[in-house]
Amino acid sequence: MEVDRRAFIASLGGTAAVSIMDHEAKAEALEHWMEERLDEAVGQQGATPQKFPSAAELEAQIETRSYRRGVGNLFVNTRGGMMKKLPPMPKNATLKDFFELRFAPANHVLQSATRALKTGMSEEVVLACLLHDVVQSMIKVDHGWWGAQLFEPYIPEKSTFAIKYHQALRFYPDSDAGYEYPDQYLRIFGHDYVPPPHIESTYKMVRNHKWYMEPRLVTVNDLYAFDQNAKVSLDPFTDIIGRHFKQPKEGLGNDNSPSAHMWRTIANPDAPL
Ligand SMILES: [Fe+2]
Ligand SMILES: [Fe+2]
């Protein structure tokens, strides 16, 4: 560290004050002064604006990983540890069972839905918020479409619409609705990322759709839903699930619906084929 002699002497009260200090006192003062400057420098570093990667930098990371970023949480431990044995699913598994045994802790979606409920949004939107990202336990890439497909046989059309299209709307701010482009996306897609054509054309279609606000409100609640300390549970949503989720009596995965295989995949991710 470079020492600014004039600033250091001035901090001690000028040359006259320094001239009456003994050698040890001067050394101690210098050490103290340098520590303070170091603390300042570290503090300033924390205050500088965050630097986000470019899309090319993120692409260059592909060959540094043993997995692809689009894979679902149930299939890879991105922190590098080993897998845990999953608890068995009950025979006639319900949505609640999947929340507790496969989607848990599901903090993000529970916080999203809690915010939707508190701000008086429609039950279709609350339900969409509750379900909007849980398919990421199976697959992350294109999760809006995958998620909509998973839930389509069981929930209102408006909720399916909201889940399907929230993914595309995340790339397009709407300050009137209270949605700004998230820092998280600058971090994970790159500051210069341009969404692919299918996302852009989807956005244009949804922007002019009479149900635009359904997926838009999912993105609005998305923003506030990453608080690690929030205490959330599925209980406040029991009635909404009861009214709007068509629980099959055979159990999810056993009802031959168009997405039953997806539920079985989530229930049994250890199956080799
Ligand atoms: Fe999402
Ligand atoms: Fe989300």
How confident is the model at residue 80, as a pLDDT? Answer: 83
> CB–CB of 114/232 below 8 Å?
yes
The pTM of this model reads 0.81
Average of pLDDT values for 208-234? 88
Provide the 10 A C-beta neighbour count for residue 82. 5
Q: Which ligand is nearest to the CA of 144?
A: 1
Give the Cα separation of 142 and 266 in Å (integer).
Answer: 17
Digit-coded pLDDT (tens) for 141-155: 999 999 999 999 999
Helix axis angle, 143-151 to 260-267, nearest 10°: 110
Average of pLDDT values for 250-266? 98
Average of pLDDT values for 181-187? 94
Centre of ligand 2 to C-alpha 39, Å, is: 37
Report residue 241 as tokens. Answer: 């699930």
Q: Which ligand is nearest to the CA of 141?
A: 1
> CB–CB of 123/244 below 8 Å?
yes
Average pLDDT of the residues of the chain? 88
How confident is the model at residue 7, as a pLDDT? Answer: 59
Average of pLDDT values for 45-59? 81
How confident is the model at residue 39, as a pLDDT? Answer: 47
Average of pLDDT values for 154-183? 97
Centre of ligand 2 to C-alpha 44, Å, is: 32
Q: Which residues surround ligand 2, an ion (CB under 5 A)?
A: 133, 222
